[in-house]
Chains A and B, each alone.
Chain A
């Protein structure tokens, strides 16, 4: 062990905690510089021992204020509890407001399906009828023995079928909407 390492560990010889490194002991026994360093630290430690007779060491402070502390602790607990209660009340109020709002919103009748929607429904129905008619005529034409027109007719047929599907889908959606509206009105108006 060299002096630098030893000096970093000298404090272990001043304040002994458990076993001391034998290498450190050996080094200090054989090195006068480290012995001087250790002596300086030990002297300083002994200086602090003058406090052994200091009033603070022998001061019998009656738990200065267990009573006061209890009051303070109670006060602290009270405010803490109050804080928790306030938080709980706040949360409950918030939840109540949300729940109440949702309930009121549920009771409020939704605006009925507009006149515009009804008009659209009839338009779509008419379109569907027309499409069906056209489709029938296209199918009839396709059955005719006119080979040159077959390709064009087949394309038109395909387009007609697509439009038919679209119209049926739109109609189904609208029917569903109106069915729901009907049951809704019946429920809340008794009609």
Chain B
């Protein structure tokens, strides 16, 4: 019998630690994806990041209320944790201009799949946080625009326009880094 997240959370509030372990098992992959994509963490740092997220969830558990949607509550905590982690990880530095690629990448120069992933991650991190967050929540966490609106506390129309702006900016950032979508998507 599968218990709902909400039910497990209420059980955990009553002191059932196994209920929390089930929640951790159930949610660790989606949250791992969220934190890594939002912060550009390499997998080696993923475990620590995930642990911090779940610790926060455990600490905030007593404040969880019956009428809340569990996933929205969870993503809100994870997002706040990710923001804090990012702040701690990268001291604020002056933005550096990326020199536009002067030549089209030719087949011999074509970046390997791994390099492309690294460049996309870099481009994603170059986005403004208020653009990156809705895009990551939409694309990687597959939340609805309404859910994203609840997590980020913004109207749906704002979320939609920010997501669209993030996509456009992402493409520009990649072109600046010499990555042509047609090139490696073909």
Contacts and interface: CB of A to CB of B under 8 A. Distances in A.
B175 to A, nearest CB: 10
A136 interface: no
Contact of B116 (A7, A50, A68): A50
Contacts of B139: 15, 45, 48
A63 B28 contact: yes
Interface residues of A, number: 40
27 contacts: A7-B164, A8-B157, A11-B167, A40-B168, A40-B171, A44-B167, A47-B171, A47-B185, A48-B139, A50-B184, A51-B140, A56-B46, A59-B46, A61-B46, A61-B47, A61-B50, A63-B25, A64-B51, A65-B51, A66-B24, A69-B24, A69-B54, A70-B21, A72-B55, A73-B20, A74-B17, A77-B15
Contacts of B174: 47
Given A63-B24, A69-B24, A72-B55, A8 B163 contact: no
A69 B58 contact: yes
B145 interface: yes
Contacts, number: 121
Interface in B122-154: 124, 135, 138-140, 144-145
Interface string A34-65: 00000011011111111101111101010111
A11 B145 CA distance: 10
Interface string A62-95: 0111101110111011001000000000000000
Interface stretch (B29-37, B72-80, B84-92, B93-101): B29-37
A23 interface: no
A12 interface: yes
A57 B135 CA distance: 17
B92 to A, nearest CB: 25
B24 A15 contact: no
A25 B21 CA distance: 46
B176 to A, nearest CB: 13
B120 A57 contact: no
Interface in B63-82: none
Nearest to A52: B117
A54 B168 contact: no
Contact of B36 (A40, A56, A66): A56
B170 interface: yes
Best-surrounded residue of B28, B59, B121 (most CB of chain A within 10 A): B28
Interface of A: 7-12, 14-15, 17, 40-41, 43-51, 53-57, 59, 61, 63-66, 68-70, 72-74, 76-77, 80
Most buried by B among A41, A63, A74: A63
Contacts of A17: 144-145
A53 B51 contact: no
A8 B117 contact: no
A171 B182 CA distance: 110
A56 B58 contact: no
Interface string B7-49: 0000000010100110011001100110011000101001110
Contacts of B138: 15
Contacts of B58: 69, 72-73, 76
Contacts of B17: 70, 73-74
Contacts of B37: 51, 56
Contacts of A57: 33
Contact of A45 (B33, B50, B51, B167): B167
Nearest to A9: B160
Contacts of A15: 138-139, 145, 163
